Structure 1
Amino acid sequence: MDMRRKDRLVDDPGELRLILEECKVCRIAMMDGEGLYIVPLNFGYEYDGDKLTLYVHSAREGRKVRAFRHNAAIAFEMDTGHELVEGNMACQTSYRYKSIIGNGSIHELDDNTEKASALNAMMEHLTGQTFEFNDKMVSAVAVFRIDVSQFSGKRRI
């Protein structure tokens, strides 16, 4: 991804993992027949330093789910570490943050074992715990995997 402010680039896998850990909401942008659409979702992830996979869940129906099923191309953004930096003049005022943005393709999971694993990735990320999911529980929700094709981190500290 092209970034104008190279001094704010985060490309160290360890630092990217820390940003992922701090972020609890991922905004996913998609396109459907009505136009552009963006939703904030809690997420889970797998990251090995080279490959990033995100997981989200949803009700089984609705605009978001229809859009995911119609067009797999998505963009995403997550951010954390927000802090105002005050200056004496407006142009000296700034904001601290850490963020990750990227693109990928979203795919609905059909296998209950895969769905349970994805839900546990989410629960572990959000709560630090894993849970038991039975078939009835995983069948009640739609679970999606985002195969991230490219992403970058950015920070202002």
Structure 2
Amino acid sequence: MKEMRLKKREITDNGTLREILEECNVVRIGAKDAEGMFIVPVNFGYEFEDAEAASGEQTLKLSLYFHGAKEGRKAEAFEADPHVAFEMDCRHEVITGDYTCSYSYAYRSIMGSGTVKRLENEGEKQYGLKKLMEHMAPGAGTVFRPDMLEKTAVYRIDAEHFTGKERKRKTERQV
């Protein structure tokens, strides 16, 4: 995997990565089908945890959950090729400069790639929808009617690689 060019902007702290996951409400998913590349924005839920690899090293595990229709371009693309890219960002702010090209933009983001899987088991679907509700509407009831579960496709992206990145506001950089 190619290293980040501006290492000073890379986020490696698990707590900060979790903050970004919490702050973001939309993840943009990049996929490919016969018509070409496309991006779809969706609300999401997530699991983020430290996992111990077979080598004994600690690794981060990120899974994103979202729902959609069982048919259509997105569903067909995921079925044909489960490899996807994803991106989420927050804390947007224009950074003004002394001249036009010195302007910039403050943000926090997570970008990555992984594989998407449609969850078929009712228990897995309920779990994924519960994660989505916990993130998007904390404290809301999570009763899922069988007819609704039958009609809804629930997906999970298992991240194979992801990075966090931050460009701080001027006031944060000067402190």
Band of TM-score, shorter chain = over 0.9
User: What are the within-5 Å matches in structure 2 for residues 57-96 of structure 1?
Assistant: 57-96=67-106
The question of 1:103 aligning with 2:103 is answered: no
Counterpart check, 1:140 vs 2:141: no
1:153 match:
164
CA distance in 1, matches of 2:124, 2:143: 13
Counterpart residue identity of residue 109, structure 1: L
User: Given the alignment of the two structures, is residue 122 of structure 1 paired with residue 132 of structure 2, yes or no?
Assistant: yes
Query: Does the alignment pair 1:29 with 2:30?
Result: yes
Inter-partner Cα distance in structure 2 for 1:66 and 1:78: 23
| Runs of 5+ unmatched residues, structure 2 | 51-59, 169-175
Deviations 1:7-30 (A, max 9, x none): 000011110000000011000001
Shift, 1:88, TM fit: 2.0
Q: Deviations over 1:47-82 (max 9, x none)?
A: 013100001110111001000111000000000000
Distance 1:73 1:19 in 2: 23
Letter in 2 for 1:128: P
**Alpha-carbon distance in structure 2 between the residues aligned to 1:114 and 1:143:** 9
Q: Say which is worse superposed, 87-96 or 116-125, in terms of deviation.
A: 87-96
**Which residue type is aligned with residue 21 of structure 1?**
E
Deviations 1:75-95 (A, max 9, x none): 000000000111120122111
Q: What is the percentage of aligned positions where both structures have the same residue?
A: 47
Tell me how far apart the structure 2 counterparts of residues 86 and 53 of structure 1 sit (CA, whole Å).
36
Aligned to 1:14: 15
**RMSD in angstroms over aligned alpha carbons?**
1.0
* Equivalent pairs, count: 157
Larger radius of gyration: 2
Distance 1:92 1:76 in 2: 28
* 3-state SS in 1 of match to 2:143: coil
* Distance apart, 1:136 and its partner CA: 1.4
Distance 1:68 1:105 in 2: 9
In structure 1, the gaps of 5 or more residues are none
Q: Matches of 1:121 and 1:80 in 2, distance apart?
A: 20
Structure 1 stretches of 4+ moved >4 Å: none
